[in-house]
Amino acid sequence: MRFPIYVLLIAALAGCSITPGGGALTANRPPILYPDLGAAPELTNQTWLNTQEPLRLADLHGKVVLINMWTFGCINCRNVIPSLREWHQKYAAEGLVVIGNLYPEFTYESDLQNLKQALVDLKITYAVAQDNQGETWKAYHNQYWPTLYLIDKNGHLRYTHIGEGNYAETEAAIRALLDETPG
C-alpha cells in the first residue's frame, strides 16, 4: 500500500513510522522517563488495616509502591478506588504494593470503626494506613484528595498525580517502574 507524502510527513513529525505491511503506525519514540524526585518520606503510621504489620518503605525495597492520599467521604477519592483495586489485583504479583493513606477531612472519617466499614463497603483489600494526625500527609507536602504517588524500587518518588483521571498514564508509569531494575 502506498501512502501520500503528507501521511508519511505527519507520521514522521509525530515520531511514528508506517509498517511495511501498509497499515499500522508504530511509535519510534523512546519510552517515557520518570524523573527521580528524591527519596520518598518514610511511612510512620501506627494503625494499619488489611496487612499483618505496619508497612515501611525501608522494608519494601525492590517493590514499586503506590500511595493514595484519600479519605472515604470524598467522591473524587471514591472514583479512583476501582482503578486502585484493579492495579492491586493485576500487578501485586509483579511487585506493586498499593497503600491507601487515609487522612480524614471530617471527624467521622477519623473513627477507626467507620474506616473499617468503608473498606468493606468499597471492597478495598490493599493495605490502608490511618493518618489522623496527618504525619504522612504532611511528610509528602500533600494538599489534595486524592493524590497518587509512585515510588520506585529504590524508594525514590518518581510520579505524582492529583485528582481523578489519567488512569492510562498512571498505569503506564506503574508498568515502567515495575520493569526497572533496582539500583
- Write the pLDDT tens digit of every residue in 89-101: 999 999 999 999 9
Percent of the chain with pLDDT over 70: 83
Q: Up-side HSE of residue 51: CA atoms within 13 Å toward CB?
A: 17
Q: Which domains does the chain have, with CATH numbers?
A: 1-30 (no CATH), 33-179 (3.40.30.10)
Note the pTM of the prediction, 2 decimals.
0.83
Query: How does residue 182 score in pLDDT terms, banded at 50, 70 and 90?
Result: confident
Q: Rounded CA gap, 22 and 177, in Å?
A: 33
Q: Are 78 and 164 in contact (CB under 8 A)?
A: no
**Tens digits of residue pLDDT in 33-43:** 899 999 999 99
Is the pLDDT confidence value at 157 over 70?
yes
Pairing state of beta strands 16-18 and 25-27?
antiparallel
